[in-house]
Structure 1
Amino acid sequence: MKVVKFEDVAGTEYQVDGGNWVSTRLLLKKDNMGFSVTETLIRKNTETHIHYKNHLEAVYCIEGHAEVETLADNKVYTIKPGTLYALDEHDEHLLRGIEDTRMVCVFNPPLSGKEVHDENGVYPADLDD
């Protein structure tokens, strides 16, 4: 069994600061679970363009207030505690932090832990290859 405490990985190489967000990687590809889990802080008054062409992601909001705008149809979704959204079609979107917002994110395939968004909002397919 593996037990990971947020406070044990905060401030280490498991925490990636992307400017508009800080992602704390709790489970990664090397943990051999078939998915990865992060806790991500979306910073207040930010907008991040994201397009996970290589990953599926489910996101569960545990604190704060954010918006997701899907770019294919320009629909805007309010994200508050207790809301889950799933990018099940590699949805290109804008993520806006209305307040500082904490989210738990699950990725398939799993992240290696080094990923940051490129200029198109994409994470690379696999940084371990």
Structure 2
Amino acid sequence: MRLDSIAPTVLALSLASGAAAASIPLRPGDYGAIGLACDNQPNATTMSFDGRSFSYAHASKCTDTVTRRSAGTLTIAETCRAAGDGSPAKANTATFGLRRQNATRFVLIKGESATSFRRCGPPGYFNRH
């Protein structure tokens, strides 16, 4: 098989995987609730975003999939397969809304509750503080 005959397929697959990774348009890093200093965030108000999916103090190995885009809000189905420490747990799927304000700020919508978040630092920021 000639290399130039598979190049278009490889390029298409690369673009498709890049598009999937960019489906949640936020900068990777550790996020905390607005209204609290980054250095004073309790575990309940922190989350990490690796560029594709979120993880939390009590859930990790999560896969986030954008299921709908409507009026500036993304509906995200999230399946987490481990506890926050990485130990295996029964997979759990939840749905939430995310309204992006910019690349480092968003509003997380769960049911009737909405919480604003902002990026506090690079991935691992909360591990050091």
Q: Do Structure 1 and Structure 2 share a fold, with TM-score over 0.5?
A: no
Greater helix share, 1 or 2? 2
Bigger Rg, structure 1 or 2: 2
By relative contact order (CA 8 Å, sep 6+), the higher-ranking structure is: 1
TM-score by structure 2 length? 0.29
Q: TM-score, normalised by structure 1?
A: 0.29
